[in-house]
Structure 1
Amino acid sequence: MQDDDFSLFRSAVCGVKPIAHDRADTGKPRSNKAQIATRRANASISNDEIRIDGLSDQFIIDVAAEDQLYWVHDGVQEGQMRKLKAGQIPFEGSLDLHGLSVEKARELLWDFLAEACKLEIRCVRVTHGKAARTDGRKPLIKSHVNTWLRQHPQVLGFTSCLPRHGGTGAIYLLLKRTMLEGRDE
């Protein structure tokens, strides 16, 4: 009986070639930290072209240095914003706009958000600062960032950070994601 089993097995595997490697394909690509770093660096390179980003400076909402910022797009769950405000959604990227001109801050913010959306990042932190201007008016970058983010199509909401992450000088920002195939969140 054993000879019959062996002969049946040999005839069943006749012409089969052995596999050259013993690794399984899990289907999930590993994150390439060097590639991500290169993309981030390339996103901040200026090409001196006039760009139309859809952000208006026509009407800027002036905010004071210690004002808490909070805005939410229609349809965003209240629970998500509570978690964001409590710092319970970890931020995966951070941008510091301290000391920049309004135009440079605008350009860097637009590029940063584009890259974050491309990488399917859910939450980022933007540090806008809160220094009062020498002419006694409200903080310039903070006021512009507050206005611009309300206009950005990928922004779901934002809120001032916890003190350990910058307090009223920074915001947590919740972004839309398209949910890449294979992601189980």
Structure 2
Amino acid sequence: MPRRSDTLKSLADLGSVQRTLSEQRAREAEAAAARAAIAQKRAAEQDLFSRAIGATQPLKRPAAVPLAPEPPAPIPVQHQLDEQRVLRESLSDEFDVTTLLDVDDAMSFRRSGIGTDVTRKLRAGEWSIQRQVDLHGLRSDEAREALGAFIRTAYKQGMRCVRVVHGKGLGSPGKQPVLKTKTQRWLIQKNEVLAFVQAKPAEGGAGALVVLLAPSKR
């Protein structure tokens, strides 16, 4: 049979546990009440905001038009073709050069208004040769276009003195310097050309011309 003191002790422990549980339930109830109050306050604020601004509807997104990337600049094909056509038409194989060439101990050409001192200085090498084109092995039409393009480019780049190698014609039918004669005709028709002389032996001799170009206007 349990003693009276043990029974009283067990009852005291049970009462302590009950008080602890009661306090815990009270704290939980307070926490739940606090959360409910916060939620109610937020709902009231949201309701107040809704009443203040009235009915709302989502904004419509403006219609978007996809923009294609800017196309690349067109290649001026027609302009290039026109330039080639003008080049072909501007250099004639039938141009008469007999009245324009100075025939002396060494053939030379100088445009009207250009003094004989210019051709003399060209022969003496007082202008440094800045660039050259070699027409060897080209057909007549190829040589004409190559020469025209070379002179035009050299002039645009500010070149003053160039050399044109046309060969001596030793491989031509009948040993006639056909390309040499045509080269002279073509050069005389180019406005960029002020004068030309036969090259010195060390620079090609009868197979080349030293050409003086007008100052570029660039």
Partner of 2:86: 52
Aligned: 1:122 with 2:160: yes
Question: % of aligned pairs identical?
Answer: 37
The amino acid that maps onto 1:94 is Q
1:55–1:148 Cα contact (<8 Å) kept: yes
User: Cα distance, 1:132 vs. partner?
Assistant: 3.2
Of residues 184, 195, 200, the one that matches 1:162 is: 200
2:157–2:216 Cα contact (<8 Å) kept: no
Of residues 115, 118, 121, the one that matches 1:77 is: 115
Q: 1:32-47, aligned counterparts within 5 Å?
A: none
Give the TM-score normalised by structure 1. 0.63
Q: 1:21-40, aligned counterparts within 5 Å?
A: none
In structure 1, stretches of 5+ residues that fail to align are: 1-46, 181-185
Query: 1: distance between equivalents of 2:207 and 2:155?
Result: 23
Partner of 1:141: 179
Cα distance 1:134–1:172, how it changes in 2: closer, same or farther (>3 A)?
Answer: closer
Q: Secondary structure at the match of 2:136?
A: coil
Q: Secondary structure at the match of 2:130?
A: coil
Cα distance 1:100–1:60, how it changes in 2: closer, same or farther (>3 A)?
Answer: farther
Cα distance 1:81–1:134, how it changes in 2: closer, same or farther (>3 A)?
Answer: closer
2:156–2:216 Cα contact (<8 Å) kept: no
Cα distance 1:179–1:131, how it changes in 2: closer, same or farther (>3 A)?
Answer: same
2:130–2:162 Cα contact (<8 Å) kept: yes
By percentage of residues, which structure has more helix? 2
Give the TM-score normalised by structure 2. 0.54
Query: 2: distance between equivalents of 1:179 and 1:61?
Result: 27
User: Cα distance, 1:167 vs. partner?
Assistant: 0.5
Query: 2: distance between equivalents of 1:134 and 1:120?
Result: 34
Equivalenced residues, count = 130
In structure 2, stretches of 5+ residues that fail to align are: 1-79, 99-104
Query: 2: distance between equivalents of 1:83 and 1:137?
Result: 31
Higher RCO (CA < 8 A, seq sep 6+): 1
